[in-house]
Structures are given as structure tokens and as C-alpha cells.
Structure 1
Amino acid sequence: MRTRNVHVITENWRFHCLHCQARWEHLYEAWHGDDGHGGDAVAWRLGGVASQPPWIDPACPSCLSLHVKTLPAGPLVPEQR
């Protein structure tokens, strides 16, 4: 039996609603490993539960809009004045 190496990387993803201007962030775990066929595979977890990748159909928690910009780790979008 072959042992698969898995590397877990914690990533803080940020989101910006283009409808209501809300901003929020979620801490995801990206589980990187081999797929058993010579390729790479990534499984995502949010709050300990299997989830879609952060960029797949995020909905705004304030207005439920799907017009959301996904931003990987880094500074939040500056507030517009």
C-alpha cells in the first residue's frame, strides 16, 4: 500500500460584495495531495466541513447577492469615500 502525502495550508480569503459593498473574510484549509494518478488534488474545508473552493459562487451574508469579488490573502479592498 502506498502512503499519500497531504499538506494542509490555511488560507484567509476575503470577499467584497459589489451590490451592497459588504466585506468579510473566511479562513479555509486547502488540503493538497496527489490524486493517485500522478496529478495533484486539492480539497477545501471551511470551518472543518468540506466545501467548494472560495471562488465558486460565494454569496454575500448581508444581502445574499452573488455579485461578489473573491480576494486571496492580502489587504482588504480600500473603503471608497
Structure 2
Amino acid sequence: MHEIDVTDETWNFGCGHCGHQWSVAYEVHHNEAPGGDQVRMWLRNGRPSMAPGGGVPCPSCQEGLRVNATRDGALERTARRPVDDLMGTGMPPVMRGD
């Protein structure tokens, strides 16, 4: 597994059931698996997390089927730090494909 970059992404959520709106910040590790497939690992507060489109429940009413997710600045992706800075940091490898 080869890490390509790490980005910070903020996703906005809206519940179609109760109307509650909220946002969540993710750290996303973009990797290239053997064979060239792209793999992303999503972290929230430094812990592995489901991807934003993976059925996030509403914190207000717990409805999960009618929650819409959109990325803040959907066309904008800024590298958080160079991948070289992450090498040798002792971070455990966690792999999650989308």
C-alpha cells in the first residue's frame, strides 16, 4: 500500500426526516493499493470512521436513511501535509476501500 496524500475534508449533512443540519471534519488518507486501485481511509478525531456517504445517522433523531451528505468545497481538495512527513511516524496501517 502506497500513501499518496492526506487531506482534511469537511462534510455537511442534512436530515430529510427532522431537518437538522450539521458538519463533520474528516482526515482522509489517500492510498494506492497493489494493482493501482485507489483506497481511502477516513478518520474522525484520529480514529477510523465510515465514509460520509456510508449511512451516517442524524444526531438529533437517529434517522439514517434520509441523511444527505455533501463535501464542503466539493471541488476543492487541499493536501494537509506532504506524505513524506508521515513516513516513519509509527502510524498503524489501517486500510478501508470505498
TM-score tier by shorter-chain length is 0.7 to 0.9
Post-superposition offset of 1:29: 1.1
Measure the CA separation in 2 of the matches of 1:71 and 1:5: 25
Paired residues, number: 72
Measure the CA separation in 1 of the matches of 2:18 and 2:24: 18
Tell me the residue number matched to 2:36.
38
Match of 1:61 among 59, 62, 75: 59
Tell me the residue number matched to 2:85.
none
1:28 partner amino acid: Y
Q: What whole-Å deviation, never above 9, does each CA across 1:39-60 have from its counterpart, x for those lacking one?
A: 2211111111111110100100
Post-superposition offset of 1:37: 2.2
Alignment of 1:1-81 (within 5 A): 4-66=2-64, 67-74=66-73
Task: Identify unmatched segments of 5+ residues in structure 2.
Answer: 74-98
Q: Is the 8 A contact 2:11 2:70 kept in 1?
A: yes
Q: TM-score of the superposition, structure 2-length normalised?
A: 0.67
- Over the aligned positions, Cα root-mean-square deviation in angstroms equals 1.5
Identity of aligned residues (%): 31
Post-superposition offset of 1:5: 3.5
Measure the CA separation in 2 of the matches of 1:9 and 1:53: 14
Q: TM-score of the superposition, structure 1-length normalised?
A: 0.80
Larger Rg: 1
Task: Identify unmatched segments of 5+ residues in structure 1.
Answer: 75-81
